[in-house]
């Protein structure tokens, strides 16, 4: 950064932006509204006297998206969107005890100065639209499950008025229609873009992944930077194992970190179970894990990880699903079978 520059940390909330602006070693606490007018005012302040700005903020879903896009479009502004867990770990390492919007903004400003700066590259508008629709579909699908459960409970007792049962039945029909309509809109976005259309076709070639699941996976994976590795995909999904061992007395079972994209993690769960039933290679892999003492849930998570690796490879090589590549046969086993 040149002498005519500043660093900035932004704590994002639904209505406001708490800003810690550091210029020449002096930090000033500011506040802007989290709307288009506030975004323009913030960019104007950051680039005052034609200085350059380096900004760090946390990924907070829809609340941070518009300000991130506004900063990315602005001349002389670089923006980095950090994982909230990484920011929290930095705050702990910095011995920060309090937690307010101002404190968090100052912490992010310090993060911009002391940590490696990776500039954020926004996904295309089509991919953002697809992800927004598929996440909304997932929310509606969860609501359908809850409504089905309420309907089952309502029908289980004669004390439930008929009007309540009829209302729940109507709600289920309406939710189903909304999901179908939104799924159609999502597919229209996917097939209209050649790259997305091809990736969608590759996804549906995988045993256990049908149209709805393919669209959800496409919405979550297409936004990721193209230079990410398969292992980084796994970490992004929060499926990376976290060992817990210390000395000779602490030796707990490994657990997944869950420090990642819960939408992606949730979407992969059912396809992994389906593939284990209908794809012999996947089923054999699961059985081997069970024979080694793994629990069914642990085996399913392992399949989820390998499915992510498979999708990563298919997208890189532009090849459809090949079960043999899911888990190549070991040489010693191949020799025994001949």
Model pTM? 0.77
Q: Would you say residue 147 lies in a domain?
A: yes
Q: Would you say residue 217 lies in a domain?
A: no
Q: Would you say residue 108 lies in a domain?
A: yes
66-96 pLDDT tens trace = 999 999 999 999 999 998 878 888 988 888 7
- Are 20 and 73 part of one and the same domain? yes
- Are 235 and 322 part of one and the same domain? yes
- Are 76 and 138 part of one and the same domain? no
- Are 269 and 299 part of one and the same domain? yes
- Are 109 and 30 part of one and the same domain? yes
Q: How many structural domains compose the chain?
A: 3
Q: Would you say residue 71 lies in a domain?
A: yes
- Are 234 and 322 part of one and the same domain? yes
- Are 11 and 102 part of one and the same domain? yes
Q: Would you say residue 215 lies in a domain?
A: no
- Are 107 and 135 part of one and the same domain? no
- Are 99 and 155 part of one and the same domain? no
Strand partners, 251: 245
173-199 pLDDT tens trace = 999 999 999 999 999 999 999 999 999
% of residues, the chain, pLDDT over 90: 72
Residue-wise burial string across 195-215, b where 16 or more C-beta atoms lie within 10 A, e elsewhere: ebeebbebbbebbbbeebbbb
Rounded to 5 degrees, what angle do the CA atoms 103, 108, 111 make? 130
Distances (CA, A) of 144 to 17, 85, 154, 214, 268: 35, 31, 15, 20, 19
Q: Would you say residue 156 lies in a domain?
A: yes
Q: Would you say residue 266 lies in a domain?
A: yes
Q: How far apart are CA 75 and CA 81, in angstroms?
A: 17
% of residues, the chain, pLDDT over 70: 91
- Are 59 and 131 part of one and the same domain? no
Confidence band for 242, pLDDT divided at 50, 70 and 90? low
Q: Can you give the CATH number for the domain in which 75 is found? A: 3.30.420.40
Q: Report which of 243, 235, 311, 240 is spatially closest to residue 272, judged by C-alpha positions.
A: 311
- Are 273 and 239 part of one and the same domain? yes
CB count in 10 Å sphere of residue 105? 26
Residue that finishes a domain, picked among 87, 114, 141:
114
Q: In the sheet where 52-58 sits, what is the strand order? A: 26-33, 16-23, 5-12, 52-58, 77-82
Residue ranges making up the domain that contains 188: 125-192
Residue that finishes a domain, picked among 93, 114, 135:
114
- Are 107 and 145 part of one and the same domain? no
Contact 102, 20 (CB under 8 A): yes
Residue that finishes a domain, picked among 80, 114, 148:
114
Q: Would you say residue 282 lies in a domain?
A: yes
The torsion of the CA quartet 247, 249, 253, 254, rounded to 10 degrees, works out to -20
């Amino acid at each position: 950064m040149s002498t005519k520059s500043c660093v900035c940390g932004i704590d994002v909330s639904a209505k406001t932006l708490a800003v810690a602006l550091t210029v020449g070693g002096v930090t000033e606490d500011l506040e802007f509204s989290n709307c288009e007018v506030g975004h323009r005012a913030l960019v104007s302040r950051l680039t005052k006297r034609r200085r350059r700005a380096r900004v760090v903020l946390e990924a907070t879903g829809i609340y941070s998206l518009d300000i991130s896009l506004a900063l990315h479009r602005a001349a002389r502004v670089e923006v980095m969107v950090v994982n909230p867990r990484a920011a929290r770990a930095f705050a702990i390492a910095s011995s920060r005890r309090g937690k307010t919007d101002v404190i968090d903004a100052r912490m992010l400003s310090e993060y911009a100065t002391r940590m490696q700066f990776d500039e954020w590259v926004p996904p295309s508008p089509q991919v953002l639209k697809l992800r927004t629709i598929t996440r909304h579909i997932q929310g509606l699908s969860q609501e359908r499950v809850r409504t089905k459960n309420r309907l089952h409970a309502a029908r289980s007792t004669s004390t439930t008025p008929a009007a309540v049962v009829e209302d729940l039945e109507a709600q289920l029909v309406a939710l189903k229609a909304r999901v179908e309509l939104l799924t159609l809109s999502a597919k229209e976005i996917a097939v209209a873009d050649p790259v997305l259309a091809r990736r969608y076709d590759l996804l549906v070639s995988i045993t256990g992944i049908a149209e709805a699941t393919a669209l959800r996976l496409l919405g979550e994976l297409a936004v990721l930077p193209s230079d990410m590795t398969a292992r980084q995909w796994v970490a992004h999904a929060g499926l990376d194992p976290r060992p817990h061992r210390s000395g000779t007395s602490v030796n707990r079972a490994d657990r997944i970190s869950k420090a990642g994209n819960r939408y992606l993690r949730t979407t992969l769960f059912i396809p992994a179970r389906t593939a284990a039933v209908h794809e012999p290679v996947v089923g054999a892999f699961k059985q081997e894990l069970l024979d080694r003492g793994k629990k069914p849930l642990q085996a399913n998570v392992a399949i989820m990880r390998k499915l992510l690796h498979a999708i990563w490879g298919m997208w890189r090589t532009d090849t459809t699903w090949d079960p043999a590549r899911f888990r190549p046969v070991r040489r010693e086993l191949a020799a025994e079978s001949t």
